[in-house]
Structure 1
Amino acid sequence: MASSSSSRQTKHQVCLSFTGEDTRLNFTSHILKPLKDTGINVFFDEDTLEKGDQLSLTFSQAIATSTLSIIVLSVNYASSKSCLAELSNIVDRKDTEGHIALPIFYRVDPSRLRNLTGRFKTSFDDHEPEKLDQVQQ
């Protein structure tokens, strides 16, 4: 039942990870539109999820079947357990399967995440330490 990364089929070319409260109606839509306009198949939860779908499982499958993930790191991104789970999954696939991870810092200084200060520190402190270790690598 296990399949290698070489035998998996790509369902989406890009998986878009973001927190909706910060970016869904503004920044993320500005990323999504040109990608779709050029024919790139993007996993975007609002377009792809159907009623009753389990968000974490659906995202995990989308990450597994895509070649690249765009992570929109915004002020509240780390406050979302589902976003951190997505990020952990993306980093794991990057390390084991060569998945490409493209972080975009939206109204966030990258040093806040790198040095874990401000809201990122508070949010990461509230989550599982092993997830934090994996993301920081």
Structure 2
Amino acid sequence: MKRKMSSSPETGSASHGSLGTKFEVFLSFRGPDTRANFTDTLYYALLDKGISVFIDKQGIDIGEEIGPEIFQAIDDSKICIPIFSKGYASSSWCMRELEHMMQRRKTNELEVLPIFYDVEPSNVKLESKVYVDALTLHKEKRGAEIVQHWAKALKEVTGIKGWDTKNTGYVNSLNSIFPFLYVSFA
């Protein structure tokens, strides 16, 4: 599988787990929604600050299993940043990543810092049709029990103070994220 795993010598990342790298940040996002704009900007800005980042840059190769590598990268990260966009909940992989993040957060093994890119936190909290419709489609394919876990993770993540780019613009959001991350890794 071709995954972009970046580590900067300044971060002092230690070898850990099956990936060989311990990441400070794992970015979770729906590629078609944010990859070419917000996510890439955030990714390169984090690298410029010397923060090691795991990001899916190449996509998934056909026929390769992505679960173990993705979940290991989440487990090997200090902070996970789900970037909620209108299409985030339509991706079963984004939902699986979020569920895993929230489970790890409960055991105090991971910090989750949500970014609401082009949705309101209330959308993610399932108070509007934006995410409800996506979960309804998943329910037909994946079953009610799995989708119930995903809905719970979505509601839980909205209880975490994050950044809302819809009302502030993503440049302002990025400017407020960096000081927070810098203090987290200092």
CA–CA distance in 1 between the matches of 2:34 and 2:112? 18
Check conservation: 1:49, 1:58, Cα contact below 8 A: no
Equivalent residue for 1:68? Answer: 79
- Could you tell me the TM-score, scaled by structure 1's length? 0.83
Q: How many angstroms does 1:135 deviate by? A: 3.6
The structure with the larger Rg is: 2
Check conservation: 1:19, 1:76, Cα contact below 8 A: yes
Equivalent residue for 2:118? Answer: 107
* Paired amino acid for 1:42: V
CA–CA distance in 1 between the matches of 2:111 and 2:59? 21
Check conservation: 1:113, 1:120, Cα contact below 8 A: yes
Equivalent residue for 2:95? Answer: 84
In structure 1, stretches of 5+ residues that fail to align are 1-7
Equivalent residue for 1:21? Answer: 32
CA–CA distance in 2 between the matches of 1:98 and 1:64? 8
Deviation string for 1:65-105 (max 9, x for gaps)?
Answer: 00100110000000000000000000000012331001001
Check conservation: 2:124, 2:154, Cα contact below 8 A: no
Equivalent residue for 1:116? Answer: 127
2:150 to 127, 131, 134: 131
Q: Which has the higher contact order (CA 8 A, sep 6+)?
A: 1
Check conservation: 2:22, 2:77, Cα contact below 8 A: yes
* Paired amino acid for 1:29: D
CA–CA distance in 2 between the matches of 1:123 and 1:65? 29
SS in 1 for 2:83: strand
> Percentage identity across aligned positions?
35
CA RMSD of aligned residues (A): 2.3
Does the alignment pair 1:93 with 2:104?
A: yes
Q: How many angstroms does 1:47 deviate by? A: 6.2
CA–CA distance in 2 between the matches of 1:18 and 1:91? 15
Runs of 4+ in structure 1 deviating by more than 6 angstroms, as ranges, are 47-52
Equivalent residue for 1:5? Answer: none
Deviation string for 1:18-53 (max 9, x for gaps)?
Answer: 000000011101100110011111001116978865
Label 1:47 to 1:40 Cα distance change in 2 as closer, same or farther (>3 A): farther
* Paired amino acid for 2:97: E
